[in-house]
Structure 1
Amino acid sequence: MPHIIPMQPVRHLPRAIAFYEQLGFTVEDRRDDWGWAKLRWGDCRVMLDQSINVNPDTPRNAVLYLYPGDIDAFHVQARANGLDVPDLDTTFYGMREFRIDDPDGNRLWIGQVGGAEGT
């Protein structure tokens, strides 16, 4: 298997795309008639899909862990793009990270081992 692309359930495709674009993803492919899009960030991909949101009132349980090259710069850019992100924290397992939810409750953990100054 050469790669895997996670698919996130979303309620409103344009709102979800706007959120992920604020993180730095770009739209690679989009089918509004399907309620589906594939987004890209470097070599990484994620799909957003309205059709898999079978129970729209249930909480989301998906988690994506994103690994930017420079967590400090990424954190500053996410805030500059208008996202309400918490301060960076260094975890007991050695990751410098922050955690946010997308508009549909899908959890994103964003981190780097030791952060920029630890690499």
Structure 2
Amino acid sequence: MSDRNTTHAAARRWVAAYETAWRTNDTDDIRALFTDDAVYATEPWGPPWAGADAIVDGWLKSRDEPGTYTFEWDVAGVDGDRAFIQARTVYAPEGDEKDGNAYRNLWVIDLAENGRARAFTEWYMKEPRD
């Protein structure tokens, strides 16, 4: 998948499928995103979830409930089979909060030939509130 246009298109399909899995929190939707031996790093400095079973388990333990966030994104670039996604996630206010928390995201996704992720790493930074 080293062709730039092929990787770009595969990345767009992958993120669309990720959004579906994010909304459904369905085991099959989550598993379909990753190769059996994939690694998912929820932060670049911590140990990743390794393997499809660990990814599904980690996802479901830290899941977001549907309707509690908005998400906008675009492909920032590709390099070989690697895609870079720039995004923004805004969570609904909780408790006495007036505004929800917003985060800027950078995802690095290594895609396999079948369009699934072999590796996924996310960086996120909380936006300051006014």
TM-score, scaled relative to structure 2: 0.27
TM-score, scaled relative to structure 1: 0.28
Q: Which has more helix, going by share of residues?
A: 2
Q: Which has more strand, going by share of residues?
A: 2
